[in-house]
A and B are shown apart, each in its own frame.
Chain A
Amino acid sequence: MKSNRKLILQLCGATLGMFLFGFALVPLYDVFCDITGLNGKVELVASKSTGVIDTSRVITVQFVANTNENMPWQFVAKDVEIKVYPGENARADFFVKNLSSNQMVGQAIVSVSPAVGAKYFHKTQCFCFDRQVLEPKQGQDVSVLFSVDTKLPESVKKITLSYTFFDITELQPVAAN
């Protein structure tokens, strides 16, 4: 009977442990993707450029602008495509406008493809680092300053940056800002 109790407690402990492990997987997957640049995950903080420019090849950077379903904002990429040397600083412009008659808060989420290129794409300044608060019908120019790492694998000739604006008005009450 005593050994039963010990085994039962161990098994309950294992159950609890796996329940917590399920939650631990949330940051673990994220950490794993951040380290490896998998899943098109990119750094969400500004990075410094190295100053070295590799003029031997040209990388095409394309921009895709989307709004999430039900998000009443207009969001367009003014620059559809930019050609840059690795290491060179460049800037891409976007226009975003709140089409609704309410003050809204939006957050742009970025994804880079191909995934192998994600960790070689550096943003020195980006509107996606902050949430955007727009008054009714207010339009605004936003931009991203970026560079492509000189260590970008030779196989990658084209990088696509996809931004999606999400409505986070309810998640982030305007009053709290």
Chain B
Amino acid sequence: MASAVDHHHGPGTGITRWLFTTNHKDIGSMYLIFSLLMFFIGGTMALIIRMELVEPGLQVVQPEFFNQMTTMHGLIMVFGAVMPAFVGLANWMVPLMIGAPDMALPRLNNFSFWLLPFAFFMMLSTLFMDGGAPNFGWTFYAPLSTTYAPPSVTFFIFAIHMAGVSSILGAINVIVTIMNMRAPSMSYMKMPLFVWTWLITAFLLIAVMPVLAGTVTMMLTDIHFGTSFFDAGGGGDPVLFQHLFWFFGHPEVYIMILPAFGIISQIVPTFSRKPLFGYSSMVYATSSIALLSFTVWAHHMFTVGIPLVGELFFMYATMLISVPTGVKVFNWVATMFRGSMTFETPMLFAIAFIVLFTIGGLSGLMLAISPADFQYHDTYFVVAHFHYVLVPGAVFSIMAAAYYWMPKWTGNMYDEYLGKWHFWCSFIGLNLTFFPMHFVGLAGMPRRIPDYSIQFADFNMISSLGGFLFGFSQLIFVLVVVKCVRGGAPAKAVVWEGAEGLEWSIPSPAPYHTFEKPPEVK
């Protein structure tokens, strides 16, 4: 039997280890490294944007290139950095947390990873094509992305298709693993919350990524095959594009935050040395957030002229989401309450997540008020809002997870001193960057514009300085990772004093093959 042989060999050698690997830990590491690379590419684009916005007027880049930067920054960060990072964490941790020897579909796992480098190579190559890269914003509204798009839009569509296939295959793999490969006696309500949130995220991915695929296919046929899905002249409707896009797009933002909720729900109990407060309410809250996410898409479209009934429905539905989200924040705070707390780097990132994500949620509530949204729409207030939920939300949770599990992955403790530096520089940098955007947004500064009125100059200068601090402090993270991979104090099996769960029952570093015999679950 081939599988019997597999059990006794270790990692392959050379480049083929990475090309042909079916090991969930190898693939998880590749996902994480890939997303870190994309994080820096997307971050560089963000710094070009901030460089142009240091002062009013045009200094560094031309408006055409500025538009390409805002578009590519968004696409790379969403599809290239945040989503693959969560898939990487799922690859590494889900089998370890449920006591499975590997993912259920290891070869498919390899395929879904290797689609990504090609997808993003193609996406980035559009920067060097005639007419430039996509320049219509990451939301690629028609007709900007069809009638008025640069020729490279076709490559963009293909890249989105490939990244989408990768996500869907990854989601299928996660669902099959979680549903069929849990250790005996690990019932659903005994699963760690990271596993729960990923299970729900995977279902969201299967529900909405195909709709995105359909939408970009319609764009493709509109551009090349004479259909008129989004062209009013041929009987189509550009607003239809927005409906289709946000039917995908709103669940998509929860795809980027639900695994983060799971991570925070692992870390906060560990460093509070208390079990998580309200485990089952966390599960139900996550499920209801996922279900509600399908009923709110038009709150991105309050200004397209939807009727009053629609405005009201989507306003109330959106506000309803703050209830389960509030349950989660309450549970995290209650977990910390009277806990024996310590503040290692993962916990710092987790606490910052709770505080700053709540700020982002609150500005989201402001945007949900549809009469007010007519003022805020397409201003920097929106930019401030979604960066507050995505940077200290998704990105900080990924950082927290990396610090939390890095000793398990490498067998070495990371440099706590550098980790704290990384945290504080990031924390200060991101607040300097994104908090002033609330003010300029409320004052009316539009997003996606390279030049601005002189009244916004001071706050933009602060944002840019903060942006550079945040951007360059991520290099500290690279230093921490490199140092930790190369050496450091050996990590114990139970790395953190208060840590619970199957992943801590195996030695550090995690052996190449784990849980070949299913573990006992209490």
Chain A residues packing against B (C-beta within 8 Å):
3-4, 7-8, 11-12, 14-23, 25-26, 29-30, 36, 38-40, 68, 107, 109, 113, 115-116, 164, 166-168, 171
**Given A19-B211, A39-B239, A109 contacting B232 (CB threshold 8 A):** yes
Q: Which of B61-69, B172-180, B475-483 contacts A (4 or more CB under 8 A)?
A: B172-180
| Contact across chains for A116 and B307 when beta carbons are under 8 A apart | yes
B234: which of A16, A23, A113, A168 is its contact (CB, 8 Å)? Answer: A168
Q: Can you sample 5 A-B contacts with CB below 8 Å?
A: A22-B211, A39-B305, A116-B307, A171-B226, A171-B233
| Contact across chains for B307 and A115 when beta carbons are under 8 A apart | yes
| Contact across chains for A16 and B210 when beta carbons are under 8 A apart | yes
| Contact across chains for B172 and A40 when beta carbons are under 8 A apart | no
Which chain A residues border B226 with CB–CB below 8 Å?
A: 171
Which chain A residues border B171 with CB–CB below 8 Å?
A: 11
| Contact across chains for B243 and A29 when beta carbons are under 8 A apart | yes
What range describes how many residues of B lie at the interface?
35 or more
B305: which of A3, A30, A115, A164 is its contact (CB, 8 Å)? Answer: A115
| Contact across chains for A107 and B211 when beta carbons are under 8 A apart | no
Most interface-central of A17, A29, A113 (chain B CB within 10 A): A29
- Closest chain A residue, CB of each to CB of B175: A11
Most interface-central of A12, A17, A19 (chain B CB within 10 A): A19
Q: How far is the CB of B245 from chain A (nearest CB, A)?
A: 10
B121-165 residues at the A interface, CB under 8 angstroms: none
| Contact across chains for A18 and B207 when beta carbons are under 8 A apart | yes
| Contact across chains for B172 and A12 when beta carbons are under 8 A apart | yes
Which chain B residues border A15 with CB–CB below 8 Å?
A: 168, 172, 206, 209-210
Q: Is B306 an interface residue (CB 8 A)?
A: yes
- Closest chain B residue, CB of each to CB of A115: B307
A109: which of B215, B233, B247 is its contact (CB, 8 Å)? Answer: B233
B176: which of A11, A19, A38 is its contact (CB, 8 Å)? Answer: A11
Most interface-central of A40, A115, A167 (chain B CB within 10 A): A115
Q: Is B213 an interface residue (CB 8 A)?
A: yes
B104: which of A4, A22, A166, A167 is its contact (CB, 8 Å)? Answer: A4
Q: Is B105 an interface residue (CB 8 A)?
A: yes
A19: which of B175, B214, B232, B234 is its contact (CB, 8 Å)? Answer: B214
Most interface-central of B176, B208, B233, B239 (chain A CB within 10 A): B233
Which chain B residues border A30 with CB–CB below 8 Å?
A: 237
| Contact across chains for A18 and B208 when beta carbons are under 8 A apart | yes
Q: Is B244 an interface residue (CB 8 A)?
A: yes
- Starting from the known contacts A4-B105, A11-B206, 12 additional A-B residue pairs (CB-CB under 8 Å) come to A18-B206, A19-B213, A22-B214, A25-B243, A25-B247, A26-B218, A29-B240, A68-B232, A113-B305, A116-B307, A164-B232, A171-B234
Q: Is B331 an interface residue (CB 8 A)?
A: no
Q: Is B229 an interface residue (CB 8 A)?
A: yes
Q: How far is the CB of A140 from chain B (nearest CB, A)?
A: 19
- Closest chain A residue, CB of each to CB of B233: A166
